[in-house]
């Protein structure tokens, strides 16, 4: 797929496709699974407006489709009506389509040449135990082809909304005030080294995984080759895409706990491993050898989410900022502490996670995991 697809006219203040600015990321998870509106998330990401440049913004929402919670929700952007007709023929041959509709938007004059945006609630035509793999295979075929279509969200009870513009303008365009979810993540700006286009905005998603990222994955080439050996296809001309696919591979397919997967992506240095006890040293040596090509080099801070779970992670020497905050009801993750405090003045604890140490919150879990040694026993 062409990197200029759905590109439109760029609207950043500098008149350039590539502006080296600091991205903004934000996430909020209600630990009881209680849905809440977009207000806090939009307010927080707009408070970090100066970290953006208008080349892109986006949101991921969990728990927003209660009437379709058992169906895969496919959000698709089209280059033309012809592309839509061709893609819908492909979908009809591959899925039972329960319902489809145009994604509601409003013309606010502040986003850039939007594509045709449609969503489909579908059931795969295969055995339930193969559903996830089937959806990944079909979405990969669509996004790797020349149909003029791009699937930018494909999870159950999950929706990604993104495009070219500032994050708060994208929220207004998609009418996000009409949705509620128990988990929201947000991103402002665009991939540092790639042109601005609708499909390239954050979050990046596969099934119910979503990733928002501040920084740069300099190991992209190595990571991409490893993931493609497992059938993934990196077609978006951006480094962040490998993070979403790596998590899907490690957690869904290889059954690693999320905290272990985080240590694959951002592991201890060999000099640190050499100082560990025998069992811990053996564990980290193994994951660094088995998954050497999934180590993510370069400066990054990411917020990753899936149904019922949100986590924050930085590179090993913390070259990009990430702040965590908690109350008895919620976990907040943000590029800046100020964004947390402006939407939650009553926050009970705020801290900066150590480089490479994940902060993990889960629905139904009263405490947030952070700054601890990863469990060495991997579940069967």
Which residue numbers are catalytic? Answer: 23
Beta bridge partners of 163: 57
Which region, left, alpha or beta, applies to residue 263 given φ > 0 means left and ψ of -120 to 50 means alpha?
alpha
Question: Cα 43 to the chain's mean position, in Å?
Answer: 19
Tell me the C-alpha distance between 59 and 176, whole Å: 9
Which residue has 């042109």 as its token pair? Answer: 195
Closest CA to 67 of 98, 30, 92, 95: 98
**Which two structure tokens, joined as six digits, stand for 85?**
């007709």
Length of the chain: 380
- The pair phi, psi for residue 27, each rounded to 5°, is -150, 145
**Which two structure tokens, joined as six digits, stand for 265?**
């992506």
Helix H or strand E encompassing 61: strand 57-62
Beta bridge partners of 360: 311, 369
DSSP output for 341-378: HHH-TT-SEEE-PPTT--EEEETT-SS-B-SSPPPSPP
Sign of CA dihedral 362, 39, 187, 153: positive
Instruction: Count CA atoms closer than 13 A to 250's CA, side-chain side.
Output: 27
Tell me the C-alpha distance between 363 and 310, whole Å: 9
**Which two structure tokens, joined as six digits, stand for 170?**
């994208």
Closest CA to 150 of 248, 23, 235: 235
């Amino acid at each position: 797929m062409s990197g200029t697809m759905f590109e439109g006219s760029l609207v950043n203040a500098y008149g350039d496709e590539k502006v080296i600015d600091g991205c903004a990321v934000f996430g909020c998870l209600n630990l009881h699974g209680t849905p809440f509106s977009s207000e806090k998330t939009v307010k927080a990401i707009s408070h970090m407006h100066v970290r953006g440049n208008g080349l892109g913004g986006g949101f991921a929402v969990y728990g927003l489709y209660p009437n379709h919670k058992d169906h895969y929700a496919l959000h698709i952007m089209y280059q033309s009506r012809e592309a839509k007709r061709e893609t819908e023929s492909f979908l009809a041959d591959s899925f039972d389509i329960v319902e489809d509709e145009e994604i509601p938007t409003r013309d606010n004059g502040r986003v850039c040449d939007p594509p045709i945006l449609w969503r489909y609630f579908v059931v795969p035509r295969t055995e339930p135990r193969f559903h996830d793999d089937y959806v990944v295979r079909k979405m990969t075929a669509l996004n790797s082809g020349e149909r003029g279509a791009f699937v930018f969200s494909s999870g159950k009870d999950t929706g990604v909304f993104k495009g070219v513009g500032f994050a708060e303008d994208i929220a207004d365009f998609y009418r996000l005030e009409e949705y509620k979810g128990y988990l929201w993540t947000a991103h402002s700006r665009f991939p540092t080294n790639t042109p601005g286009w609708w499909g390239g905005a954050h979050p990046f998603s596969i099934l119910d995984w979503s990733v928002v990222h501040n920084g740069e994955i300099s190991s992209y080439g190595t990571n991409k080759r490893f993931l493609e050996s497992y059938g993934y296809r990196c077609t978006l001309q951006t480094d962040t895409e490998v993070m979403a696919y790596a998590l899907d591979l490690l957690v869904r397919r290889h059954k690693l706990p999320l905290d272990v997967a985080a240590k694959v992506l951002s592991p201890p240095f060999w000099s640190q491993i050499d100082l560990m006890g025998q069992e811990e040293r053996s564990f980290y040596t193994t994951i660094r050898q088995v998954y050497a090509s999934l180590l993510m080099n370069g400066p990054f801070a990411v917020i990753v989410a899936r149904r019922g779970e949100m986590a924050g992670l930085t590179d090993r020497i913390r070259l990009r900022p990430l702040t965590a905050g908690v109350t008895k009801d919620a976990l907040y993750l943000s590029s800046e502490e100020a964004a947390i405090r402006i939407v939650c003045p009553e926050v009970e604890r705020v801290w900066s996670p150590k480089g490479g140490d994940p902060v993990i919150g889960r629905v139904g879990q009263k405490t947030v995991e952070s700054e601890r040694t990863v469990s060495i026993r991997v579940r069967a």
